[in-house]
A = this chain, B = another copy of it.
């Protein structure tokens, strides 16, 4: 089995600085970790562990699972729960975003940075709590589906 090579035409923008983030914390950069980040970056969507396992090339499932847990811990990924299932997505600290998901039509609406910031500031003011700018998912009913009356 051909051994995986580091930095072989990956498509994870290094502007993101994931390499620095790993190295500074004393962790290693491996082709396996890069492949996971690449898959999530290129697909541009949340994926479950199982989905990721199916897409990796020449990589053991155990490694996928271990790295997902690892990458969540070091905050390169977010783990988010949707309808009782876990999904993973890149965590870009420079562009945190939060979603409203409608239970009826399933549409996702992004919460503007301004609105989120107001709440974050309130948490800071009231509790002295500095919330991480990661990804929230809030369920409810959107305007079109009757958000007022629900």
Number of copies: 2
Q: Is the CB of B123 within 8 A of A115?
A: yes
Shortest Cβ distance from A49 into B: residue: B84
Instruction: Determine the distance from Cα of A126 to Cα of B130 in the docked complex, in whole angstroms.
Output: 24
Q: Determine the interface band of chain A, counting residues with CB < 8 A from chain B.
A: 35 or more
> B-contacting residues of A (Cβ < 8 Å)?
68-69, 72-73, 79-81, 83-84, 86, 100, 102-103, 109, 111-112, 115, 118-119, 122-124, 126-132, 134, 136, 138-143, 147-148, 150
B129 close to A100 (CB less than 8 A): yes
Given contact pairs A72-B84, A81-B86, A84-B79, A148 touches B126 in the complex (Cβ within 8 A): no
Q: How far is the CA of A149 from the CA of B137 in the complex (A)?
A: 26
